[in-house]
Amino acid sequence: MPKTVQKTNAGRFFEDYSIGQVIHHAVPRTVGTGERAMYHALYPARHALYSSDAFAQSCGLSESPLDDLVAFHVVFGKTVPDVSLNARANLGYAEGKWLKPIWSGDTLRARSEVIGLKQNSNGQTGVVWVRSRGLNQRDETVLEYVRWVMVKKRDPASDAPETVVPDLANVLDPADLVVPEGLDFTRYDNTLAGEPHRLGDYSVGETIDHVDGVTIEEAEHMMATRLWQNTSKTHFDGTMREDGSRLIYGGHVISMARTLSFNGLANAQMIVGLNAGSHANPCFSGDTVRAWSEVLDTAATTAPGVGAIRLRLVATKGGAPFTLKDDSGKYLPHVLLDLDYWALMPV
């Protein structure tokens, strides 16, 4: 074989995707109590169900699962070499569903199906929609979500594919949320969980300033992003920007905001649905991340004592809480993240 064969992965370009294409992502990953400890070191994670085997058992589970966002990050990380290595922007998320908890010792792998394609009018880039699934070692789907990214074309002169824009739900119907088997909040202990506020104590439209802030360091976001085997150069290589700083993985901001939201939403225990999400502005080392939430909806589930709460979670790097967009509908410059999700909460 000649020397000139390219052995490294240059990533896919817009032309490399086709509707219905299924991509099996590489490098399955076994996760366990080591990843759990790292998650607690990297984020101010305090939700009791993910902190304590004893608490999880009192809620009907066999042990404490790994944080829902661990599943999200691992699956996301696996998709990066195939989906977003040449992405210009991570445009959105929809129809995210957590279907099974991740237990210590589980091995996750991921695959994605291309469900939408639309070349941009500039001819330089296109939008690719994929539905990504995480599977465990028993071939059970543990998580699925749609994300769409803007990807460079290899050759601006190449033909545009037929435009297919998938029809995605704006919000998951609460009836479609999957409650983990056995989950039972009838003996839920507010004191151990950290707050007295249950589903009935939150009203639609209510806003909560989560008060605390965390100043971000390069070492931390890189360790987090590496832990999920996310290979995007931009998070690790300080030579890509004049100032040596690295663009922070959007998922780092998601986990930071979600864990900061413990203070005011300690009982929003498990994330079960991701309705939408925007990485409104980039985050860099030195930024101090804060979070606020807005209650968008509440719903019942069929599991004993378990309700669902739909929340907007906003991460900021300054600015007043509860400010989001300017008059033209553009995110304010201090807004990092606008996430819309469903969580399970005791009624």
Residues 172-231 that bind its own copies (CB under 8 A): 191-195, 197, 200-203, 205-215, 217-220, 222-224, 226-227, 229, 231
SS (H, E, C) the chain: CCCCCCCCCCCCCHHHCCCCCEEECCCCEECCHHHHHHHHHHCCCCCHHHCCHHHHHHCCCCCCCECHHHHHHHHHHHHHHHHCCCEEEEEEEEEEEECCCECCCCEEEEEEEEEEEEECCCCCEEEEEEEEEEECCCCCEEEEEEEEEEEECCCCCCCCCCCECCCCCCCCCHHHCCCCCCCCCCCCCHHHHCCCCCHHHCCCCCEEECCCCEECCHHHHHHHHHHCCCCCHHHCCHHHCCCCCCCCCHHHHHHHHHHHCHHHHCCCCEEEEEEEEEECCCCCCCCEEEEEEEEEEEEECCCCCEEEEEEEEEEECCCCCCCCECCCCCECCCEEEEEEEEEEEEC
Other CB atoms within 10 Å distance of the CB of residue 213? 15
Footprint on residues 273-292 left by its own copies (CB under 8 A): 286, 288
CB closer to its own copies out of 41 and 175: 41
Binding-site member from 15, 40, 99, 164 for its own copies (CB under 8 A): 40
Nearest approach in angstroms of CB 191 to its own copies is: 5
Binding-site member from 18, 62, 89, 105 for its own copies (CB under 8 A): 105
Q: Does 81 contact its own copies by CB under 8 A?
A: yes
CB closer to its own copies out of 205 and 329: 205
Footprint on residues 6-25 left by its own copies (CB under 8 A): 7-9, 24
Q: How far apart are CA 287 and CA 305, in angstroms?
A: 39
Binding-site member from 80, 115, 172, 266 for its own copies (CB under 8 A): 266
Q: Does 123 contact its own copies by CB under 8 A?
A: no
Binding-site member from 13, 14, 55, 76 for its own copies (CB under 8 A): 55
Binding-site member from 22, 34, 162, 300 for its own copies (CB under 8 A): 34
Count of positions on this chain that bind its own copies (CB under 8 A): 85
Q: Does 133 contact its own copies by CB under 8 A?
A: no
Task: Tell me the window of 161-169, 262-270, 272-280, 338-346 that interacts with its own copies (CB under 8 A).
Answer: 262-270
Q: Does 44 contact its own copies by CB under 8 A?
A: yes
Q: Does 321 contact its own copies by CB under 8 A?
A: no
Under 8 Å CB-to-CB from 56, ≥6 apart: which residues? 49, 50, 62, 63, 64, 65
CB closer to its own copies out of 59 and 94: 59
Q: Which residue has the tokens 């939700």?
A: 47
Token representation of residue 105: 């010792």
Task: Tell me the window of 37-45, 114-122, 269-277, 339-347 that interacts with its own copies (CB under 8 A).
Answer: 37-45
Q: Does 239 contact its own copies by CB under 8 A?
A: yes
Token representation of residue 275: 């309705």
Nearest approach in angstroms of CB 123 to its own copies is: 27
Task: Tell me the window of 43-51, 93-101, 124-132, 156-164 that interacts with its own copies (CB under 8 A).
Answer: 43-51
Task: Tell me the window of 95-103, 234-242, 275-283, 298-306 that interacts with its own copies (CB under 8 A).
Answer: 234-242
Task: Tell me the window of 91-99, 102-110, 120-128, 270-278 that interacts with its own copies (CB under 8 A).
Answer: 102-110
